Amino acid sequence: MTEQIGKVVLDKTFYPGKDLYCDGSVEDELLKIVKEYDASDYDKVIEDRGSWPVLYHLSEKRANIIEWLPIDKSMKVLEVGSGCGAITSTLVKKAGSVTGIDLSLKRSSINAYRNKDADNLLIHVGNFKDVEKTLPNDYDYIFLIGVFEYAKGYMGSDTPYEDFMNILKAHLKPQGRMVIAIENLWGLKYWAGCREDHLGTYFSGLEGYPAECGVRTFTRRGLEEICKNTGVEDYHFYYPYPDYKFMTTIYSDDRLPNVGELSNNLRNFDRERLLLFDEKHVFDSVIKEDLFPLYSNSYFLLIGPKVEPVYVKYSNDRAAEYAIKTEICKDSVSGELYVTKKPMSYSAMEHMKAIKAASDSLKETFGDCGAFVNVCEEKEDGLYFEYLDGVTLEELLDSYMERKDETNFLGLLDTYYKLLCKNEAAPIKDKDLIFANILVNDGKWHVIDYEWSSEAPCPAGELFTRALYCYTLGSHRRKLYITELSDKLGQYGYSKELLDTIMEEEAAFQKKVTGQRLSMVEIRNKIGMPIVNPLDLASMNKVEPRVQVYVDNGAGFSEDNSYFIPMNNTDAVQKLTIDFPKGAVALRVDPCMEPVMLYIKEVAVVMGTNRVDVQELKPNRKGQYKRGKTGYFTNGEAIGQGFYALDTADPNVTVQYHVSEDNAKLVLWVELMKLPKSI
Q: How confident is the model at residue 355 (pLDDT cuts 50, 70, 90)?
A: very high
Please compute the mean of the pLDDT values over residues 459-465 and round it to a whole number: 93
Question: 349: Cβ–Cβ under 8 A, 6 or more apart, which residues?
Answer: 343
Q: Which amino acid is at 425?
A: A
Q: What one-letter code names the amino acid at 313?
A: K
CATH number of 2-185+207-243+297-306: 3.40.50.150
Q: What is the pLDDT of residue 679?
A: 40
DSSP notation for 257-292:
PPTT--------SSS-EE--S-HHHHHHHHHHTT-H
Give CA 425 to chain center in angstroms.
43
The pLDDT value given to residue 639:
82
Q: Cα–Cα distance between 200 and 277 in angstroms, integer?
A: 20
**If you average pLDDT over residues 339-351, what whole number do you get?**
94
Q: Mean pLDDT, the chain, as a whole number?
A: 91
- Peptide bond preceding 305: is omega within 30 degrees of 0, i.e. cis? no
Average pLDDT for 560-586: 83
Residue 460 has pLDDT above 80, yes or no: yes
Cα atoms found within 13 Å of the Cα of residue 120, Cβ hemisphere only: 18
Average pLDDT over residues 201-206: 91
Q: Which of 112, 113, 110, 68 is nearest to 244 (CA)?
A: 68
pLDDT at residue 90, rounded to an integer: 97
> Tens digit of pLDDT for each residue in 300-326?
999 999 999 999 999 999 999 999 999
- pLDDT (mean) for 19-46: 91
Q: What average pLDDT score do residues 447-452 get?
A: 89
Tell me: pLDDT of 163 over 80.
yes
Q: Look at residues 86, 226, 207, 90 and name the one whose alpha carbon lies nearest to residue 149.
A: 226
Crossing angle of helices 406-422 and 460-472, rounded to 10°: 140
Looking at residue 603, its pLDDT comes to: 94
- Which residue from 72, 116, 67 is spatially nearest to 87, judged by alpha carbons? 67
Helix, strand, coil in percent for the chain, rounding step 5: 35, 25, 40
Whether 540 has a pLDDT exceeding 80, the answer reads no
Distance CA 512, CA 510 (A): 5
Interatomic CA distance for residues 597 and 537, integer angstroms: 8
Looking at residue 56, its pLDDT comes to 95
Q: How confident is the model at residue 569 (pLDDT cuts 50, 70, 90)?
A: low
The DSSP H or E segment spanning 378 is strand 376-379
Which of these, 153, 147, 206, 144, lies nearest to 177 by C-alpha position?
144
Report which of 106, 102, 101, 103 is spatially closest to residue 77, judged by C-alpha positions. Answer: 101
The DSSP element (H or E) to which 97 belongs, if any, is strand 97-102
Answer for the pair 372, 383: CB distance below 8 angstroms, yes or no.
no
Of 120-124, 277-281, 603-607, 620-624, the range with the highest mean pLDDT is 120-124
Q: What is the pLDDT of residues 34-49, one digit of tens each?
A: 999 999 999 999 999 9
Residue 121: pLDDT band (50, 70, 90) is: very high
pLDDT at 456: 78
Under a CB-based contact definition with an 8 Å cutoff, are residues 422 and 373 in contact? no
5 touches 113 (CB < 8 A):
yes
Please, are residues 349 and 94 in contact by the beta-carbon 8 Å criterion? no
Distance of CA 400 to the CA centre of its chain: 30
- DSSP, collapsed to helix, strand or coil, labels residue 505 as helix
Residues 432, 451 contacting (CB under 8 angstroms)? yes
The torsion angles phi and psi of 21, rounded to 5 degrees, stand at -145, 150
Nearest to 69 by CA among 47, 94, 51: 94
Q: What tens digit of pLDDT does each residue of 411-447 get?
A: 999 999 998 888 777 777 788 899 999 999 888 899 9
- In contact, 63 and 314? CB cutoff 8 Å: no
For position 424, what pLDDT does the model report?
79
Q: What is the pLDDT of residue 678?
A: 47
Structural domain boundaries of the chain? 2-185+207-243+297-306, 392-525, 535-674
Among 597, 603, 609, 614, CA closest to 648 = 597
CA distance to 37, 159, 212, 382, per residue, from 34 (Å): 5, 38, 36, 33
Q: Where are the alpha helices (DSSP H) in 429-578?
A: 460-472, 476-484, 496-514, 520-527
Spatial CA neighbour of 56 closest among 263, 250, 267, 295: 267
Indicate the SS3 state at residue 618: coil
- Residue spans of alpha helices (H) in 305-438: 349-367, 393-402, 406-422
pLDDT, greater one: 217 or 531: 217
